[in-house]
Chain A
Amino acid sequence: MVLFENVSLRYGDGPAILQHVTFTLAPGSFHFIVGASGAGKSSLLRMMYLAQRPSGGRINLFGQDIDERLKRRDRPLLRRRVGVVFQDFRLLAHLSALDNVALPLRVAGVPESKIRDHVTELLRWVGLAEHIDALPATLSGGQQQRVAIARAVITRPSLLLADEPTGNLDDAIALRLMYLFAELNKVGTTIVIATHSERLVQQFTHRQLRIEQGTVRLIPQRSEAA
């Protein structure tokens, strides 16, 4: 599903953010990416959703090497298989909650007749039935985050990446969200969640990719370790 082989990353002439990163994420797996703020969690995710090219090494996504040989028109096809919950949500301010969530379907060419009901159902499921036509600016941080999550999962992606998805949520909603991710994982979606919250990670037994001083160390599932 995701293969990183000796991947390194630096921005310009700056110091290496990540170096010699090697790991494999199997289909249907669930991983946390953990590390201190600024450790490189978001950078690692950015490479996974093709927003950042590595400085060196090899990345393979869905069996496809992500390098200069990958044609520009093929990149969107890979991205459509990846759902992303951004740390800053990245909702489009001029679009309603419904249109934000519908965006991945529209760019994929899904007929308009099939979009509204599907999106409405999902928004209802994340507790935003009353805010379907609301603009992001009129929603609270938690509500915006739920819109962002709905947008990430609307296409039933093979790989779901979430960058600090519970950062703006109270504990109850955060837990509910984690159960949503677990449900998606049960139906085969590969989940990767970047978080700095050790407390959140400790509540679950999933594998961890721990970033320390630019290197990534795989910590096995607690049951596996035992």
Chain B
Amino acid sequence: MRLFFRSDLPLAGDASGRFLPWIIGCMVYLAALALAAALAADNLAARWHADLAGRFTVEVPPAPASSDKDAKLRGITDLLAKTEGVTAVRLIGAADKASLLRPWLGGGDLPEDIVLPDLIVVQSATAIDMAKLSKELTAFDAAIRIDDHGRWHGDLLAFSNSMKILAFIVLSLVALAAISTVIFVTRTGLAIHRRVIEIVHLVGAQDSYIARQFLFHALRLGLAGGAAGAALAAGTWIALQHWLGTGGSGLLPSLSLSTGDWIAVAAVPVALSIVGMFTAQVTVLILLGREP
């Protein structure tokens, strides 16, 4: 690792290399945010999926004023409780309804004139025959609807997958841009230092010795820019989390990342620096190998 600290080529003073950390920094910033967003979306989807696993909701339409609403609801809950596989049945009360609607309607009691369906949350340990259950429930009210959250799950999965694809595209583009930039900077460095490289060759250096110097130079610049970009991205993400936690309404989900996720985000600048490092090395070996 001696050459990491000492270079025989004056690469550190190159004008072409000076902007590399800035470019790498910007690219790492974008890539880290894209990855964090994908991971947060995945976490969110997993969390919601876990919340809704083995659970479905029975939606009982508002009953006419003349009917015995309580008897109907009791009958429905009894039927649900007796259904094979069902472990818990809970009727959502007025307070819970108000809580669910708070993000849309604000705090306080619900207005008297709002007519809401009754909701019964059912927890099951095994798969329930929904067709059969639905048929049995129509005996109470033909308009009763069972929501097993299938559509919601599908949408959630699609959203999570879209975020992953988007992150993959952003990361690929960033890696491509980093590789192109490093190739350009390395080519320029080889041209600028042609005379010095010739001397180093003449005293017996292999191409690999020169390539190693470019490799460490690229690594150094990549890590400097990457660390700054990652730190900025982390700051942005934490600020966003803070805003969603305090300033945002309850409609917006939490964007929490696990320790593993943070490690993955922190790996972005490292990975990009390693890609840049080997790009520089390969570029030098190819270009010097073409010389007579």
Chain A interface (Cβ < 8 Å from any Cβ of B): 49, 51, 53, 72-73, 76-77, 79-80, 84, 90, 92-95, 99, 103-104, 106-108, 112, 151, 155
Contact = CB atoms under 8 A, between A and B. Distances in A.
Contacts of B10: 92-94
Contacts of A73: 206-207
B8 A92 contact: yes
A107 B207 contact: no
Contacts of B201: 76, 79
Contacts of B195: 90
Contact of B8 (A72, A77, A80, A99): A99
24 contacts: A72-B207, A72-B289, A73-B207, A76-B204, A76-B205, A76-B206, A77-B204, A79-B204, A84-B202, A90-B195, A90-B199, A92-B196, A92-B200, A93-B10, A94-B10, A103-B8, A103-B200, A104-B203, A104-B204, A106-B8, A107-B200, A107-B204, A107-B209, A108-B204
Interface string B259-292: 0000000000000000000000000000001001
B2 interface: yes
B203 A151 contact: yes
Contacts of B204: 76-77, 79-80, 104, 107-108, 155
Interface size class of B (residues with CB under 8 A): 10 to 19
B2 to A, nearest CB: 6
B193 to A, nearest CB: 10
Contacts of A72: 207, 289
A112 B4 CA distance: 14
A93 B292 CA distance: 26
Interface string B22-57: 000000000000000000000000000000000000
Given A77-B204, A90-B202, 19 more contacts: A51-B198, A51-B202, A73-B206, A73-B207, A76-B206, A84-B203, A92-B10, A92-B196, A92-B199, A94-B13, A95-B8, A99-B8, A104-B203, A106-B8, A107-B203, A107-B205, A107-B206, A107-B209, A108-B204
Interface of B: 2, 8, 10, 13, 195-196, 198-207, 209, 289, 292
9 shortest interchain CB distances as A-B pairs: A80-B204, A107-B205, A94-B10, A104-B203, A79-B204, A76-B204, A76-B206, A90-B199, A107-B204
A153 B207 CA distance: 22
A80 B205 CA distance: 8
A103 B210 CA distance: 12
Contacts of A104: 203-204
A90 B199 CA distance: 7
Contact of B203 (A79, A94, A99, A112): A79
A46 to B, nearest CB: 10
A79 B201 CA distance: 8
Nearest to B210: A107
B76 to A, nearest CB: 83
A99 B8 CA distance: 8
Contacts of B196: 92
A66 B10 CA distance: 31
Nearest to A157: B204
Contacts of B198: 51
Contacts of A112: 2
Contacts of A76: 201, 204-206
Contacts of B203: 79-80, 84, 103-104, 107, 151
A95 B13 CA distance: 13
A77 B201 CA distance: 11
Contacts of A151: 203
Please indicate which of the listed interface residues B195, B196, B204, B205 has the most CB atoms of chain A within 10 Å of its own CB.
B204
B215 to A, nearest CB: 16
A49 B2 CA distance: 28
A155 B202 CA distance: 13
Nearest to A99: B8
A105 to B, nearest CB: 9
Contacts of B289: 72
A108 B208 CA distance: 12
A88 to B, nearest CB: 10
Contacts of A107: 8, 200, 203-206, 209
A70 B128 CA distance: 78
Nearest to A106: B8
A80 B203 CA distance: 6
Please indicate which of the listed interface residues B2, B195, B201 has the most CB atoms of chain A within 10 Å of its own CB.
B201
A107 B198 CA distance: 13
